[in-house]
Amino acid sequence: MKAAGILLAIALALVLQTTIDRYVAGGTVAVNFVLVVVVYVALTSGSVAGLLTGTVAGLIQDSLGTGLIGVGGLAKSIVGFVAGIIGTQFIVSQPLPRFLVFFVATVVHQAITIGLAVVLGQRSFGTPYAAVAGQALGNAVVGVAAFQLAELLPGAVERRRMGKSRLRR
């Protein structure tokens, strides 16, 4: 059941990523929703789940893109694995540590992706510091918001049930 939920989250992130990408000027979105899902799963489920989610999500995203297949999968696998280790070894239950994990994970992901693209001769990059920082900030904000939402929803459902049961009495 948990695997089905992860696959659904990956599919939703891919749909959201490709849909928003069409409507943004220049075709670059400041948030990588697929990477946010990978880091979220890694922090909540551990390093193996992060590794597998990163591999699957990265390969699917690579196959939908125009780049070399496998670069995104490798980058997301490494980031998912390391984020999972960080999530199990350190207390990452408050918004600030989560923000930092999402931010650093995005920077590492971009460094691996850009580094592999340069090494493989796909293309050269100038100094994309502002773009990487912007995406890292966007991913961190969306990631923390996803955690906050996930933590609020079960309580909201329970409060709603309790409110309905009081009305019946």
pLDDT band at 168 (very low <50, low <70, confident <90, very high): low
Q: What is the pTM of this model?
A: 0.88
Q: What is the mean pLDDT of the chain?
A: 88
72-81 mean pLDDT: 96
- Model pLDDT, residue 94: 95
User: What pLDDT was estimated at residue 25?
Assistant: 55
pLDDT surpasses 70 at 17: yes
Domains of the chain: 2-168 (1.10.1760.20)
> Taking residues 114-121, what's their average pLDDT?
88
The pLDDT score that the predictor gives to residue 21 is 73
Q: What percent of the chain clears pLDDT 90, i.e. is strictly above it?
A: 66
> For residue 155, is pLDDT > 80?
no
3-state helix/strand/coil string of the chain? CHHHHHHHHHHHHHHHHHHHHHHCHHHCCCCCHHHHHHHHHHHHHCHHHHHHHHHHHHHHHHHHCCCCCCHHHHHHHHHHHHHHHHHHHCCCCCHHHHHHHHHHHHHHHHHHHHHHHHHCCCCCCCCCHHHHHHHHHHHHHHHHHHHHHHHHHHHHHHHHHHHHHHHHC
Q: Say yes or no to pLDDT of 10 above 80.
A: yes
Q: What is the per-residue burial (b if ≥16 Cβ within 10 Å, else e) of 41-68?
A: bbbbbbbebbbbbbbbbbbbbbeeeeee
Question: Where is pLDDT greater, at 154 or 165?
Answer: 154
Question: Average pLDDT for residues 33-37, to the nearest whole number?
Answer: 96
Q: Tell me how far apart the alpha carbons of residues 46 and 39 are, in angstroms, rounded to a whole number.
A: 10
- For residue 67, the model assigns a pLDDT of 74
Q: What is the pLDDT of residue 26?
A: 60
Please state the rounded mean pLDDT for residues 68-84.
95
